Amino acid sequence: MAPPAGQIRPAKYLGAFVLIVVALYSLVFFTGNGKATPKLGIDLQGGTRVTLTARAPDGKTPSEESLNQARTLIETRVNGLGVAGPEVVRDGTNLVITVPGDDSEGAKRLGQTAKLNFRKVIGSPVPNTPAPTESSTPPSTSGSAAPTTTGSAAPTETAASVPPTTTAQGRPAPAFEGQPETTTPPAETTTPPADPNAPPPAEGQESQVDCRAVFQGVYSEDPTKAIDESRTCRQDPQLTTLDAQTVSQALGAFTCPTKDPLIGNDDPALPLLTCNQDLTEKYVLAPVTPPADGSVKEDDYSLYSRLTGEDIDNAVSGTDPQGAGFVVDLTFKGEGGDKWGKFTSANVSQQVAVVLDTQVVSAPNINEPILGGSTQISGTFTQSEATHLANVLKYGSLPLSFEASEAETVSATLGLASLKAGLIAGGIGLALVFVYCLFYYRLLGVLTILSLVLSGVIVYAVLVLLGRWIGFTLDLAGIAGFIVSIGITADSFVVFFERLKDEMREGRSFRSAVPRAWVRSRRTILSADAVSFLASAILYVLAVGQVKGFAFTLGMSTVLDLVVVFLVTHPLVSMISKSKRLSNPKLVGLGGAVQAAVDDRALSGAKSTAVKEV
């Protein structure tokens, strides 16, 4: 038989609370690293601040719109990783990202352009062997070359036989293959022969690019010129028309640059000479999209994949089912799946390069047509790298490319001093609440203190687990949210206890007043906490930065307040009301309410006697 309204079985509710606490702390100590320590935010544990300098694809000053769009996308990437506490602030043409801890590489990856496309591999990749520098032993005048450049000076004659054009030096192999660096005659061959019909200077600017220097990683200090030099030499349209030997010579003359201005700025409509992410292999890749002049049929996928990151519908990281490591599974949109099926069908036994920000992530062989609209990116990924790659591909590429121009460590000294001052202030406030509750409610005040302590116990466990599961970090704003929530929790107790006094003023005993007071106060408690939670949710959605942390902790504490009030406070009060020794009104701070009820009855009796006498 169910108990009457407002009456409960206290042991049942207290047992449920104990099970919740045991479950939470079992997860704390037996999952993850097993340490009962929450993740701290930037202001409490320090962090790393990385300044990303924006570069527009054309090398010009980025527009306001593109900068704001980039900042929004980076914030979206952060949100996709969970509530982790980073800050993204715009400073002129720079974006300043601050992350907790010393993960500067993680902050740099947040600014990754994530420009993805699929390109057919032309020829075969070759290992990246740096060419000898001028300080090394100079090559002999007989023209014998380094192992990566193949042949002797003879191929230079082949280069001379090519009709000179305004982009002669942008053509990799003929311009560089086999050229000694320390003898004068070969150096002169880097400039096209004089032509009386040469085009005007404005048209001949590209012929002044020293592609041999570009191929050795030497670029102009001007970012705009550096991008133009890279495109001229490494995205020459003739790369797709060269024979296999000349492609091999071009790869041999090229050295993977450690700082590449072309990163994120390559033109998908042109071929590309580039390297993999580890800078261990060099590739010549076909264009992504065909010319717009209609010279290539729409159904011709023999060279052009026509696939970019915009064709991706979803990206999910996971473990490699075929071995150790991690992979990223891609699902294409409808049209993208059709493109992938046609491209793989037309290039069976060929290599396709998955290119992210101008660098090759992986270049697998196509063994058979891949239909169904999905594929997989594999590589030497760690779990965090695979998760990050899936995240950036899912939310799209940035409209700008970024270069990490500065990285510094942020000290937590000021934050710790503020934390110490805040904890002292919070402790003083909490002590005053305890003293007031003990003075005003006596034994019920002890229940209030016990409920607040138990609330802190489950809040702490939830903090540790959220930091472990979604990357939640506790900062000063979050601590402020918890301190404010103490008042909300205490307010729930006050509502219950004051309603209990009202019932006893009406002449009921402590035992009979508890269930009636709970039924009437419960609705008020739920309404108040609902309003508080709704305000926290709205603040979280509209706010940015640390204010989000304040709103998050305030809302979470409000929910946990209900757990404590329903499973701890009410059952304990119900247990006390059934004890003859503990239910003494004076002991529980309700003596005044009982005396008020006696006075009301006496006054009512006096009035009734007076009426009868009249």
What are the φ and ψ backbone dihedral angles of 330, each rounded to 5 degrees? -110, 140
Q: Report pLDDT for 167.
A: 37
Mean pLDDT value across residues 55-67: 73
What does 411-422 look like in DSSP terms, one character per residue?
P-HHHHHHHHHH
Neighbours of 36 (CB within 10 A): 12
Quote the pLDDT of residue 16.
94
Q: Where in the chain are the domains? A: 10-41+412-603, 47-122+290-407, 129-255
Confidence of residue 7 (pLDDT cuts 50, 70, 90): low
* 3 state SS for 44-80: HHCEEEEEEEEECCCCCCCCHHHHHHHHHHHHHHHHH
Give how far the C-alpha of residue 375 lies from the chain's centroid of Cα atoms, to the nearest Å. 23
Is the separation of the CB atoms in 373 and 331 below 8 Å? yes
Domain 10-41+412-603: give its CATH code.
Answer: 1.20.1640.10
What local confidence, expressed as pLDDT, does residue 3 receive?
52
* Contact by Cβ (8 Å): 195, 261: no
pLDDT of 12: 92
The dihedral sign for the CA sequence 272, 274, 276, 280? positive
Q: How far apart are CA 370 and CA 307, in angstroms?
A: 14
Record the pTM: 0.52
List, for residues 190-242, the tens digit of each pLDDT value: 333 334 343 444 444 444 788 888 888 888 888 778 888 888 999 988 888 88
Separation CA 418–CA 479 (nearest Å): 11
Nearest to 254 by CA among 182, 168, 172: 172
pLDDT tens-digit readout, 136-181 = 333 333 333 333 333 333 333 333 333 333 333 344 444 444 333 3
What pLDDT sits at residue 441?
83
Identical topology for domains 10-41+412-603 and 47-122+290-407: no
SS3 308: strand
Q: What is the pLDDT of residues 479-538, one digit of tens each?
A: 888 888 888 888 888 888 888 888 888 878 878 888 898 998 999 999 999 999 999 999
Determine the CATH number of domain 47-122+290-407: 3.30.1360.200
Q: Report pLDDT for 382.
A: 83
Burial 245-278 (b: 16+ CB within 10 A, else e): ebbbbbbbbbbbbeebbbbbbbebebbbbbbbee
Query: Per-residue confidence at 271, pLDDT binned at 50, 70, 90?
Result: very high
Token pair for residue 580?
């003859």
pLDDT at 343: 93
Lowest-confidence region among 76-80, 344-348, 452-456, 580-584: 76-80
pLDDT of residue 608: 59
Number of other CB atoms surrounding residue 328 within 10 Å = 26
Both structure tokens of 480: 């402020």
Nearest residue to 235 (alpha-carbon basis) of 401, 71, 57, 404: 57
Residue 147: per-residue pLDDT: 32
Quote the mean pLDDT of the chain. 76
Given a cut of 70, whether residue 118 has pLDDT beyond it is yes
E strand residue ranges, 82-206: 87-91, 94-100, 116-127
Give the best-scoring range by mean pLDDT among 351-360, 371-380, 583-592.
Answer: 351-360
Give the pLDDT confidence of 64-78 residue by residue, as tens digits.
Answer: 877 887 787 777 666
> What angle (nearest 5°) sits at the alpha carbon of residue 185, between those of residues 181 and 187?
40
- For residue 473, pLDDT beyond 90: no
CA proximity to 82, closest of 104, 102, 101, 99: 99
Question: pLDDT > 90: what percent of the chain?
Answer: 15
Q: Which H helix or E strand runs over 601?
A: helix 591-613
Cα 48 from Cα 108, distance rounded (Å): 10
Q: What is the DSSP string of 524-590?
A: HHHHHHHHHHHHHHHHHHH--THHHHHHHHHHHHHHHHHHHIIIIIHHHHHHHHT-TTTT-TTTTT-
pLDDT in tens, 87-104: 777 877 788 877 766 655
Is the pLDDT assigned to residue 599 strictly greater than 70?
no
Residues sharing a CB contact under 8 Å with residue 205, sequence separation 6 or more, in sequence order: none
What number is the average pLDDT over the span 110-117?
72
CA 111, CA 129: separation in Å to the nearest integer?
30
Task: Please name which of 555, 574, 466 lies closest in space to residue 4, comparing C-alpha atoms.
Answer: 574
Are the C-beta atoms of residues 582 and 443 closer than 8 Å to each other? yes
